[in-house]
Amino acid sequence: MPKLMPVAHVDKTKYTGKKLNVALVGLGRYAAILADGLQASAYCKLAGVVTGHPEKGEAWKKQYNLADKNIYNYSNFDSIDHNPDIDVVYIVLPNSMHKEYTIRAAKGGKHVICEKPMALNAADCEEMITACKNAGVQLAIGYRLHYEPYNLELKRLGQEKVFGQVRLIEASLGYRTTDPGEWRLKKALAGGGPLMNVGIYCVQSSRYVSGEEPTSVTAQFGPVTDNKLFNEVEASIIWQLDFPGGLVSNCTSTYACGVDRFFASADYGQFELSPGISYGPFKGKTSNGELKFPDINQQAAQMDGIGKLILENKPLPSHIAGEEGLKDMKVIDAIYKAAATGERIMLA
């Protein structure tokens, strides 16, 4: 895995070249946060939306001063291929829709950013990567923490073995879910429970701190804390990843309670963040003392990092491209298989 370099904070006023025009697909909670990030971005701007709700399209058009012709619905979305004013389609839909809309956007000749989790399984991720390659467009996954200073420091501490070989990681992310109507509790839309939604960050941090791919997985489902809420997806899941360098990573993701922490113990010291995975502000320390970095607009930093490379017609590095989403999904597929069978699943 390549070393991940911090993206310098971009001064919006200093860049005067062309901005990348982004259309957001699916105007839910995260799209609103991304829209704020796009407002603060130097290299990208919000230029269009795709929504199934005409009234939302109208409201967004007014709020962000969007052109009429850049407001699409799910039926006329494919005509985006004739629109030179959209460069990138950013998919912020429920997980089960990521594959279809990535492939449709690629066929329309648009670069694609797709939210995590990339798809429902590794086979779907492979189809998405192939579709984008065939269409000659770039595919990025919305992994905002690859641009976040505290997480970049975790990577540096782990990959550069600042405290020696990391031997143990404990990573947990969860929150309490109470809304039975939430699509995240429907298997057909979400693909799974907290592992698909937030546990993926613990898979990510284990991989980017070690700089390695896991060789085997064991996993256990946690208790069903509410029969009505959790009749399709898991309420909690705990898993263990073994890495070739001698690291074991023990992770939890849950919809039963709030938790947001990362801890690593290496041969000669320790480092941790809590909170360290959500939107911040983050807090962390190492055996040498407190970690102190600026709290940034994670979405603006992500859009600048991806946007600058696309504008320069440079290939996106694999750690933010579709390949990274595929690597996570292979691990997630194995975690679910291990939990369902009780067996150790070999990955390499």
Contact call for residue 211 and ligand NAD (CB under 6 A): no
Return d(Cα 327, Cα 188) in angstroms, integer: 22
Return d(Cα 199, Cα 170) in angstroms, integer: 12
Q: Is 248 helix (H, G, I), strand (E, B) or coil?
A: strand
Report the residue number, 43 or 90, with the smaller CB distance to ligand NAD: 90
Report the residue number, 60 or 243, with the smaller CB distance to ligand NAD: 60
Kindly indicate which of the ranges 41-49, 76-84, 92-100, 313-321 contains the residues binding ligand NAD, using the contact rule CB under 6 A: 92-100
Report the residue number, 93 or 125, with the smaller CB distance to ligand NAD: 93
Pairing assessment for the beta strands 44-50 and 71-72 based on DSSP bridges: parallel
Kindly indicate which of the ranges 21-29, 154-162, 203-211, 309-317 contains the residues binding ligand NAD, using the contact rule CB under 6 A: 21-29
Biggest distance spanned by C-alpha atoms of the chain:
59
Strand partners, 341: none
Site for ligand NAD in 26-55 (CB under 6 A): 26-31, 52
Which residue's Cβ lies closest to ligand NAD? 28
Minimum CB separation of residue 110 from ligand NAD in Å reads 18
Query: Is there a catalytic annotation at residue 30?
Result: no
Q: Which two tokens stand for residue 9?
A: 């904070």
- Asked whether the CA dihedral 100, 110, 128, 195 is positive or negative, the reply is negative
Report the residue count for the chain.
Answer: 348
Return d(Cα 332, Cα 122) in angstroms, integer: 9
Q: Which two tokens stand for residue 249?
A: 């990573």
Question: What's the distance, Cα to Cα, between the start and end of the chain in Å?
Answer: 16
Return d(Cα 224, Cα 226) in angstroms, integer: 6
Contact call for residue 305 and ligand NAD (CB under 6 A): no
AA identity, residue 96: S
Minimum CB separation of residue 186 from ligand NAD in Å reads 8
Among 115, 234, 324, 333, binds ligand NAD (CB under 6 A): 115
Contact call for residue 280 and ligand NAD (CB under 6 A): no
Are 89 and 111 in contact, with CB atoms under 8 Å apart?
yes
Site for ligand NAD in 171-200 (CB under 6 A): 183, 189, 197
Query: Is there a catalytic annotation at residue 279?
Result: no
Contact call for residue 93 and ligand NAD (CB under 6 A): yes
Region of 136 (left: φ > 0; alpha: ψ -120 to 50; beta: rest) is left
Quote the radius of gyration of the chain (alpha carbons, Å).
Answer: 20
Among 99, 110, 144, 319, binds ligand NAD (CB under 6 A): 144
Minimum CB separation of residue 24 from ligand NAD in Å reads 9
Kindly indicate which of the ranges 10-18, 35-43, 91-99, 248-256 contains the residues binding ligand NAD, using the contact rule CB under 6 A: 91-99
Contact call for residue 234 and ligand NAD (CB under 6 A): no
Minimum CB separation of residue 94 from ligand NAD in Å reads 5
Strand arrangement, sheet containing 88-91: 71-72, 44-50, 20-25, 88-91, 111-114, 139-141
Minimum CB separation of residue 60 from ligand NAD in Å reads 11
Catalytic hit among 116, 308, 327, 330: 116
Kindly indicate which of the ranges 20-28, 172-180, 206-214, 232-240 contains the residues binding ligand NAD, using the contact rule CB under 6 A: 20-28
Q: Which residues here bind ligand NAD, judged by CB under 6 A?
A: 26-31, 52, 92-95, 115-116, 142, 144, 183, 189, 197
Catalytic machinery residues: 116, 201
